[in-house]
Amino acid sequence: MMAFASGDIKEMLRCPAEPNADATLSLLQRLAPGWRIEPIEGEVLAEATNPPMGIVFAASIAGLDIVCGLDFLNGAGTNLPAHVLAEGAGRTIVLHRMHSASDSVQFAIWNDRHLVRALGIDGTNGVVQDVGEPLGFEGPYWAGERPHQPTALFGPPGPNPFPTGFHPQSLGNEAMRALFGFILEGRHQPDDIDAWAVPLLGFHLIDPDAPGAGERAEQLRAATSTMVRRTYEMGPDGAVIEVTT
């Protein structure tokens, strides 16, 4: 996820307005100049943070632009291109990534285009990027108050596998809560925002210079045209049933 904010992201997401379609499309055209952008069905924030390659969910509301799906950055990490940094003029940029397969996490904050905090951790090498002063929510982790405690089904647990001593994903979740106001894993808190109530617009982003771009665009279009949203709830007898909407 990436956000460009003129105020407190959490408060703006707590009671979000409907995204401005024209402003959202214009934002993506500036962030991914030259890319082919096609509107598709939107998604709620809780389901939008890890979209398939080539798909972006985004919203422009008063004071806030938020984008989920950053393939168009081509792995830039915290070395954001100048045209992306330009969106942060006079604003705060917040970037957050997590990848459970590699137990990695990265988050970064820019104030008026200047990088003030960036942290990158992976499960094998530990800290791979550390810029600026730690943020408040990081304190218990660096102080050793959130150690990872391995478990084992049979016999004693093995040693802690993480060089940091804590699980990177645990810190990543706390970063998501502190920066965006919600988490996807772990115990929710009363003050967390309802990420299921935050609507985002959907788009295909196709790099016209990539080999096979036209073919992939058609494949994406065909795949998303058959996607169906299904919602489930617990029935009176405890069975999970599909809700018709």
pLDDT of 245 strictly over 50 = no
| Selected residue with higher pLDDT from 128 and 232 | 128
- pTM for this one? 0.82
Mean pLDDT of 232-236: 58
User: Residue 95 has what pLDDT?
Assistant: 97
User: Residue 149 has what pLDDT?
Assistant: 75
Structure confidence by residue, pLDDT tens digits, 30-71: 999 999 999 999 999 999 999 999 999 999 999 999 999 998
Mean pLDDT of 161-181: 91
Residue 101: pLDDT band (50, 70, 90) is: confident
Mean pLDDT of 181-205: 93
Which of 19-28, 95-104, 188-197 has the least mean pLDDT?
A: 95-104
- H-helix or E-strand spanning residue 230: none
Mean pLDDT of 107-124: 95
**How far is the C-alpha of 158 from the C-alpha of 150, rounded, in Å?**
6
Burial of 37 (0-12, 13-18, 19+ CB in 10 A): middle
* Residue 35, phi then psi, degrees to nearest 5: -75, 150
- H-helix or E-strand spanning residue 139: helix 139-142
Burial of 172 (0-12, 13-18, 19+ CB in 10 A): buried
User: Residue 4 has what pLDDT?
Assistant: 98
User: Residue 68 has what pLDDT?
Assistant: 97
Tell me how long the chain is: 245
- H-helix or E-strand spanning residue 173: helix 168-180
Q: How far is CA 83 from the centre of its chain?
A: 20
**How far is the C-alpha of 89 from the C-alpha of 162, rounded, in Å?**
37
Query: Which residue from 89, 90, 54, 85 is spatially nearest to 72, judged by alpha carbons?
Result: 54
Beta-carbon contacts of residue 219 (< 8 Å; ≥ 6 apart): none
Q: Which two tokens mark 54?
A: 């080539």
Query: Which residue from 9, 58, 12 is spatially nearest to 32, judged by alpha carbons?
Result: 58
3-state secondary structure of 241: strand
Mean pLDDT of the chain: 86
Structure confidence by residue, pLDDT tens digits, 136-162: 999 999 999 988 877 655 444 556 678
The DSSP string of 34-72 is T-EEEEEEEEEHHHHSSPPTTEEEEEEETTEEEEE--GG
Cβ pair 190, 203 in contact under 8 A: no
Question: How much is the CA Rg of the chain, to the nearest whole Å?
Answer: 19
Mean pLDDT of 19-33: 97
Residue 75: pLDDT band (50, 70, 90) is: confident
**How far is the C-alpha of 213 from the C-alpha of 164, rounded, in Å?**
41
